[in-house]
Amino acid sequence: MSQIYEYLKMAVSNIKANKMRSFLTMLGIIIGISSVILIMSLGNGAKNVITEEMAGIAAGQIALYTYDDTGSYQITNEDIEAIEAEVGGLKGVNAYMSADGVTSTKKGEFQVMASGQRASYKVFSTTEILTGRYFNEQEYLSAAPVCVIGEEDAIRLFGSADILGKTIDVTIWGTEISFRIIGVEQAEKESMFTFTYDNSPVSIYFPLTVFAQIYGVGFDTYYQIYLMAEDGADTAAITTQVVDLLERRHQCYGEDIYQYESFSDYMGTVNTVINTVTMLISLVAAISLVVGGIGVMNIMLVSVTERTREIGIRKALGAKTRSIMLQFLSESAIITMIGGLIGIVSGIAGAFLVAKIVASVNPKLAFTPSVSIVTVLATTLFSSAIGLFFGIYPAKKAAKMSPIEALRRN
């Protein structure tokens, strides 16, 4: 143990004696380690914020649809009632229809995105109600002309969000309908997934049955419905139960009439893409570690040449081959370890700096880098392994040197 301590002291002493050369030798290791840490931290941080943002928008949602052209397998209101009654773990089932419209107020004329929803719409909304309420089952069944509007749209239309009880006249497909405003939703928090533009349509939400007044017929069948699972529920199991129920009711078991897409599927795809891209870029950055390792080997070879006489004297005094080899391996390992530590600190600092710059340029894209302890430990071990691997050849060369030949060279 004392011998190893002596080797380390000698290695540190030699590094100090050649500060600039040692630093330049470390530079490749520093760049490689810092690049890997920076990219992995930014990738993990971006993945975390994307997951959180998407969870706030669509967590637990499942879209279920049919490509049936015959009309025999469309989803009916009775099917929806059966799903709500028989399938556990669901907050609600929704179906909707949207149409373009236009409205005029004292503030001017506005394009409208009119969206008819079922009464369970409230559990699908990603924002809280600011004032008022959502429409209820009775209003849905009676096709009551009531609506919910967003806070920002309310201000655009009326100059205030205090508009409960006011009416908004919307012309849809040539028919004007007067909606009574019964609820105002809070403005959405800005995120990387929110997108607005000048003169964007005003969105209003009302009972889907109101569309029957425009068409003159009721809505009894749907090509697509949406399911909202309870927090922590198994969406895959819920989807399987719903598909089985529909296939049983429509006598089409095993024909794959009903397809589905869930939020968890999207998230799995997004995470896979982010992880793959991050890993590929990290592997490219890690190439500089190999280049840095070659640099360590070159400098150690130079060091062996410069210290030939020292090696000869030590071997003449009885130093063993193993001792000479350990001395040079210790030096190369220390160089790469120091470079690795500097690279880790630089990579973490760089990741936070890049995140800060991104946030200052576009606040919607603000996120906090996620530094993985596993990544830090892995890069530290890898940098040490690089030093040992590329230090073996110079160390062997020094250890095998004949003392007579070594003393004769200088």
pLDDT tens per residue across span 175-225: 899 999 999 998 776 655 555 556 788 999 999 989 887 776 667 788 888
Please count the CA atoms within 13 angstroms of the CA of 238 that sit on its side-chain side.
30
Buried residues in 276-308 as b, exposed as e (16+ CB within 10 A): eebeebbeebbebbeebbebbbebbeebbeebb
Indicate the average pLDDT of the chain.
81
For the residues 113-139, what does the mean pLDDT come to?
88
84-108 pLDDT, tens digit per residue, is 889 988 888 888 888 899 999 888 8
The position carrying tokens 């928090």 is 189
Confidence of residue 398 (pLDDT cuts 50, 70, 90): low
Q: Report, as an integer, the average pLDDT of 278-291.
A: 76
The DSSP element (H or E) to which 221 belongs, if any, is strand 221-222
Determine the pLDDT at residue 215. 72
Query: What integer is the mean pLDDT of 108-124?
Result: 88
What's the pLDDT at 190? 62
pLDDT category of residue 408 using cuts at 50, 70 and 90? low
Query: Greater confidence, 330 or 105?
Result: 105
Whether 127 contacts 217, CB under 8 Å: no
Rg (CA), the chain: 34
What whole-number percentage of the chain has pLDDT above 90?
17
More confident residue, 153 or 323: 153
Q: What is the mean pLDDT of the segment spanning 277-305?
A: 75
Higher per-residue pLDDT: 114 or 270: 114
Confidence of residue 145 (pLDDT cuts 50, 70, 90): very high
- DSSP bridge pairs for 117: 96, 207
pLDDT at 35: 84
Q: For 298, left (φ over 0), alpha (ψ -120 to 50), or beta?
A: alpha
More confident residue, 262 or 66: 66
pLDDT digits (tens, 9 = 90+) for 258-283: 888 877 777 777 778 888 887 887 77
**Half-sphere exposure for 267 (CA within 13 Å, toward CB):** 20
For the segment 41-50, the average pLDDT, to the nearest whole number, is 83
What is the phi/psi pair of residue 196, to 5°? Answer: -130, 155
As a whole number of angstroms, the distance between CA 242 and CA 246 comes to 6
For the chain, the maximum distance between any two Cα atoms, rounded to a whole number of angstroms, is: 108
Per-residue confidence (pLDDT) for residue 148, from 0 to 100? 95
Look at residue 410 and tell me whether its pLDDT is greater than 60: no
Q: pLDDT at position 132, please?
A: 93
* Res. 134: pLDDT tops 90: yes
- pLDDT of 204 reads 93
What does the pLDDT read at residue 103?
Answer: 93
Q: How far apart are CA 260 and CA 229, in angstroms?
A: 14
pLDDT for 370 beyond 80: yes
| pLDDT attached to residue 110 | 93
